[in-house]
Amino acid sequence: MVSLMMQHLLPPVALLLLSIIPTETKVVTSMAECNEFFLQQTPPNIPGILEGGNILDQNRYKPICQTLRDISRFMTLYDIRNKIPVFSAAKYGGGGEGKKSFWKVEPQLENTAEGDNMIKAEKNITYINQAGDTDYNNKEEYTRGHLFPSYYRSDEVEKRSTFTLTNVVPQKLNFNSGSWNKMEHCVKCILDNYCINNNNIIEGFVVIGAQPSNGNILNNKINIPSMLWSAFCCYSGNQNKWLAGAHWGENRDNGHTYLQTKTLAELKNILGIEAFRGTQCPNDITVTQLYLKHPCKSHCRQTEKSLTPPTSTNTPSV
């Protein structure tokens, strides 16, 4: 296959032919090759895309063990037709704010002979199976919205790994910096302070995804998602129980409204997504009782309605 550095010299017909060549890649062939990023090594269920751990259309949806400096950092299932991720998933171990990094791409989506490591996105290359750096340019209405955010990673190299265009979607600017950002910080506070296992180590699992729109396209190439969703689960040693929650919101200007915390059951019933299928994560309770306590009270302000106690108080055994 033609190298990445030569693709910008090819005529359109040649590029079209490249786009229909099947790609197998770190980009990998099976979800099982990245299963360390899922709770109990179990990937989510996404109707019509990923069911029972099986990718239904392997020519379109590509599992990526997001690799930087020869180490897999997190996992993404990528849609090469819509040029956006279906979801990104990782084990959370604590993190903080970090520096921004240059944008990267996954070379194996274009050429299976390329190495495993993500590389810098070149402005003079037209990428066929993924979004490129220039595909997001000159669009002030939308920003490059991380699915798995950099400040969920534990060190600078981990943070840099999230700056890959296979981990972002076109996200409304005010949504990204407003309600979605508030939700991310609230979840992070819960993970940092309550997802501490019996060995006194921060440990949680996070899955964050996007639902594509019906034909809303950025720059004639990238699908603009209609909705973003997020879910987390962990065992809390200091609470002596499993904790879980989910959020989602429409990808539109919504000011600084709060995205109410939902249960995993609601995520499944409303969006069809089983984020932690077959695990001990509680389906019918959330963590809203923790929002009233220090230190997360300031990060997790909600409406009175969203703080109404859940109807179910059953807690699964460890």
The tokens for 45 are 């269920």
Q: What φ, ψ does residue 205 adopt, rounded to 5°?
A: -125, 140
How confident is the prediction along the chain (318 residues), in pLDDT tens digits per residue?
344 444 444 444 444 334 333 333 368 878 988 999 999 999 999 999 999 999 999 999 999 999 999 999 999 999 999 999 999 999 998 887 777 899 999 999 998 888 889 999 998 889 999 999 999 986 678 999 999 999 999 889 999 999 999 999 999 999 999 999 999 999 999 999 999 999 999 999 999 999 999 999 999 999 999 999 999 999 999 899 999 999 999 999 876 688 999 999 999 999 999 999 999 999 999 999 999 888 999 889 764 344 444 444 333 332
- This prediction's pTM: 0.86
Q: Using CA atoms, how far apart are residues 297 and 139, in angstroms rounded to an integer?
A: 36
Domains and CATH numbers, the chain: 26-102+131-307 (3.40.570.10)
Letter for the amino acid at 82? N
